[in-house]
Amino acid sequence: MAGSPTLAGLFAQRSVVGVAEFAVANSAQITLSTFALGSCVGVIAYDPVAKAGGLLHLMLPDSTLSPDKAAAQPAMFADSGIPALFNALAGIRAQRPRMRTFIAGGACVLSGPDNFKIGERNAIAVRRLLSVYGCRSIGEDVGGTVNRTLHLNVGTGILSAKLPDRSYEVPMGA
């Protein structure tokens, strides 16, 4: 019957990743989502062989600003969040050499001058750390002045990005 839900659709689940959080999954029914990345950066990592993915929504580049916060909430910072993301992915059998990464966010969304350049500093820190970890980057969408929303379908490996003026998809498993 046209318009009837599919079995997969009935069991599909969305895991929403908030600011300073991350999530990993290896279930084909899971979509990892994060909303309104402004100066924050979203890091998506996907292992197409294990069909396992993770999404990190980090706020700041460097945990030396607040080691206590980094210990309690590692996803707040790039230098503690990225290792936590990769450790969690390893726990669901993803392997870093096979992972493909994509980063988004790092915008300047303030109406006036951004003297701290948090978005830019976040993107630089993430690129540096991903390089140190030897991860294959398949792209990025950083900078500018607009927010981004990301959805990673773990089953298909398709990353969907939504901006105020456009949407696009990135095949993370290709």
Active site members: 40
Contact 57, 34 (CB under 8 A): yes
What three-state secondary structure class fits 101? strand
Residue where the block lists tokens 């990892």: 32
What residues does 137 pair with on adjacent strands?
A: 101
**C-alpha to C-alpha distance for 116 and 119, rounded to whole angstroms:** 9
DSSP state of 39: S
**C-beta neighbour count of 125 within 10 angstroms:** 21
CB within 8 A of 166, min separation 6: which ones?
none
Q: Tell me the Cα Rg of the chain.
A: 16
